[in-house]
Structures are given as structure tokens and as C-alpha cells.
Homo-oligomer: A and B are copies of this chain.
Amino acid sequence: MKVALIGLGSVGRGVAEMIAKKDLGLKITGIADSATGLIDDDGIDVAKVLATKKKTGKCGNPKITAADVIKKADYDALIEVTPTNALSGEPATGYMKTALARKKHVVTSNKGPVALHYKELRALAEKNGVAFRYEATVAGAIPIMHTLEHGLGGNEILALYGVLNGTCNFILTRMADEGLTYEQALMEAREMGYAEADPTYDVQGIDAAIKLVILANTIWGNGVKLGDVDRTGIDLLTADALRLAEEEGCTIRLIAEANPRKKLIRVSPRIIGKNHPLVTEGTLNALTLETDMAKEITLIGRGAGSIETASAIIGDLLFIQDRYVQRA
């Protein structure tokens, strides 16, 4: 299967590396970063491009843009892994629409377009008979979309509860384990590279809320939007609150939860028993699905990381290859 890769940040490089390393039947025929691009219908030498990117910061020809690659390259599936813009979803949404209109499958790790334009992108994919997959947008390496689609096929999903932001989970773990204040734990998270210079997006629960919106739309198709999420962050939590929870055999986690019967969609710090499967340490993500037949199913894994996110992208690509594209 021929693929075009748009975006060569941490995730894009991870995907390229895995495609080059593993014998997956995938050939990259187009590639682009934010400034340059490369098209070769016979297949691009990925190792060479990655070396060039590392050395020069660029992957190809400054006269070829990402839009050129998407419009002109010969590929079956577009891998869209440019940075998330949570406000407009652009330019990624436009990239995806162009590819879908060309009857190309789309695989993305980009939360913005999926949270903002799910219905439209899904409809466009269906109209053109191609796949639109976004496993990597929620909970990194955890195959949550595959589980919803196949593993729990036939189940009604009644509700979900998740730890969807690794940065917050790290901060809360450190506050609980070491009695740190929020500020101390945040500083530690920054030093470890788990938190951005401006941590708003993570600690105020925006990132978790975006993922919750993607999950809710996927499961219930109910058209919820980011503004519908009742959201409280962890930035006002005190070390005392955590200590009190610990004294009762509990702890506090930033829980994203949705339950359509209760008209509930919320991200907030919750007190939770320490033995609950959702309580995991450090930057791990976890998600519990409450279903009618399987009852509670919990998945735990890494929510971020270059190769971990590439795992989700590659799972989507192989699924498309298996389902839609004739094997040679």
C-alpha cells in the first residue's frame, strides 16, 4: 500500500522510522514537513530522508508543499500527523478533505480536526468509500477505537471513564506519593519533559476534554462539542486534598467521563479508590468502558511518545490495507 506522510515532528518521524524498519507492505510515495516536500511514485528512501531531516531540519524540496504532496502524489492512504490546532483544526482539516475527495484513506493523530469536524470528515469518507481512522488521537498506544469497533462489537457502550491526560496523571501521582504541592509537581513534570512551558492545555483539562469529545462522537454519534464538556482542571488542587483522599484509601485523578443517559459529559478531579483499575501511576492513560454485555472493560497503556503513537497509526494503516487494499 502506498502512503503519503504529512508532518515530520515526533510522531511523523516515529511512523517513518517504523515503516522503514518493519516489513509491513507500506511504501511512502510522498512526504512533507512544514516547509518542504518530496514526491516519488516509486517509493521514497525513508532512512535517507530522516537523516536529511535530522541534519538540515528539512525533508525535501522547498518548492513542494504539503498541499502539493496531498494533491499530486500517488498514494492509497494519507497519514496526517501535523501539530494539533484545537481552535480551527487547520490546516489539517483541509488536508484531510482534499485527500478524502481524491478517494484516499486518511489516518491521523491530529485531535483538532476530529474533535471539531468529525461528522463532516466521516461523511466525506463514507461518500468516497474510503476509511477515516484516528486511533492515535485518543490515549496514544491504547487501541481504544479498534476495541470499540470490533473487540466489543455487539455491545452497547453505556458510559466511559478515563484518565486521558498523562501530564495531569503524573502531577497527581507525584503529589500523592511525595506530598508535593501542585506547583512543585508541575515543575517536576516540566523538568521531565511531560509538561509544556504553558501547561494550560493539559492542567485545565482541555486536552482530556477534546479526547472525550472524540470518544463520545465515535461511540454515540451525538455531536457533542468541546463547549459542552463540564470542565474543571487540577491547577487548584491542594496537597491537603490529596492527603485526605489517601487517608481514606483513595486518591485523586483527573477523570474524563461521559454517560448519555445521565446527560453527563465532564472532565474533573475525582476521588477514586486506590484499587480501581483506572488508578495508574505516572504518565499512563487508562480507560474504562461500561457495556451491557462485557460489563466493565479497562485498557491501560502509554498515552504519548513517538513510537507509541506510531503504533496506533500503523495499526490503522494495516487495518486499511487488510480491509480495503488488495495485497500484492
Q: Which residues of A contact B (CB under 8 A)?
A: 18, 22, 24, 141-143, 146-147, 150-155, 275, 277, 280-281, 284, 286, 291, 293-302, 305, 307-308, 310-312, 314-315, 317-319, 322
Contacts and interface: CB of A to CB of B under 8 A. Distances in A.
Contacts of A153: 314-315, 318-319, 322
Contacts of A299: 297-300
Contacts of A24: 154
A240 to B, nearest CB: 22
A274 to B, nearest CB: 8
Most buried by B among A143, A147, A318: A143
Nearest to A142: B297
> Copies per complex?
2
A172 to B, nearest CB: 13
B151 A146 contact: yes
Contact of A301 (B18, B141, B295, B318): B295
Contact of A147 (B146, B302, B307, B314): B146
Contact of A293 (B284, B308, B322): B308
Q: Which 3 A-B pairs have the closest CB atoms?
A: A143-B151, A293-B311, A141-B294
A277 B275 contact: no
A291 B311 contact: yes
Contacts of A150: 143, 146, 150, 315, 318-319
Nearest to A317: B154
Contacts of A301: 294-298
Given A147-B143, A147-B146, A280-B277, A300 B298 contact: yes
A153 B316 CA distance: 8
Contacts of A280: 275, 277
A291 B147 CA distance: 17
Nearest to A135: B151
Given A142-B294, A277-B286, 18 more contacts: A141-B293, A141-B295, A142-B297, A143-B294, A146-B151, A150-B315, A151-B151, A153-B319, A154-B311, A154-B317, A275-B280, A277-B277, A277-B284, A291-B311, A293-B307, A295-B308, A297-B299, A297-B301
Contacts of A298: 298-301
Nearest to A144: B151
